[in-house]
Structure 1
């Protein structure tokens, strides 16, 4: 199975249904390039075509994918969204890095460092986990 980047729970992410055919589980396993995992208030059926929207990144932060899995939690559902094309995966990876850096800056704000310094620190510590190789099967 491909890897899924964890989206920070404190940064809103929306899943919108999109008009595309349902993708069967075996196709998700063979065509999925990796994806993101995000907290949602409701459950989604595996294979459902969705668009991942990250409002804090602007209107262009829209990534088409398919629900690969859905896990019930006390506070909602953790939903794994798989991407089946390189462009959507690349855009989502970049968007997730921005979200992670923003989250990191919020957690370490009193550290006395500038936002630029905190971003550089995050990149040095965590950027490898967001590489294309980290999302390949066997690297999850």
Structure 2
């Protein structure tokens, strides 16, 4: 199973159940192309079919996946959403870059929003972090957390 990109907490994400059948844990482990890790108030079982929705990116920011792992946090859960379809993974990774840029701009804008050049901040983020979202980078830096993976 490949690495999971962390979704920024200040960009809302929704998870909804899909009518697709769940995947067995071992099958999910062997076919996952990678995924997104996000905080969520609800727990999900591994293998459940879900749709990850990012409302701030519009109606088309919907990505079908499966719960790869779910870990209890101090408040809520950290959920790893695995993608088994290359198109869904590509769309989710591109959306995550936009979310990270939004997060970066929000961090740097503060109360001086009218004086901040958002385009320059976006280009700064891209120069510093875009390579982290490449396929080669995800494969090279894959995050395997044995206590979260199916046995």
Task: Work out whether residues 4 and 142 of structure 2, in 8 Å CA contact, stay in contact via their aligned partners in 1.
Answer: no
Give the TM-score taking structure 1 as reference length: 0.95
Q: Is the Cα–Cα contact under 8 Å of residues 101 and 119 in structure 1 kept in the other structure? A: yes
Residue 109 (structure 2) pairs with residue 114 (structure 1):
no
How many residue pairs align between the two structures? 140
Residue 87 of structure 1 is matched in structure 2 by 87
Change (3 A) 1:138 1:119: closer
Q: Tell me the SS of whatever aligns to 2:84.
A: coil
2:8: which partner in 1? 8
Q: Secondary structure at the match of 1:136?
A: helix
Cα contact 1:54–1:62 (8 A) shared by 2: yes
1:17 aligns with 2:17: yes
| Structure 2 counterpart of 1:139, from 106, 125, 142 | 142
What's the offset of the Cα at 1:138?
5.8
- Cα distance in structure 1, aligned partners of 2:137 and 2:82: 14
The aligned residue for residue 31 of structure 2 is 31
For structure 2, the residue ranges without an aligned partner over 5 or more in a row are 144-151
SS at match of 1:36: strand
CA distance in 2, matches of 1:60, 1:43: 25
Which 4+ residue blocks in structure 1 deviate beyond 4 angstroms? 110-113
RMSD between aligned alpha carbons?
Answer: 1.5
- Secondary structure at the aligned position of 2:5 is classed as strand
Partner residue, 1:128 = 131
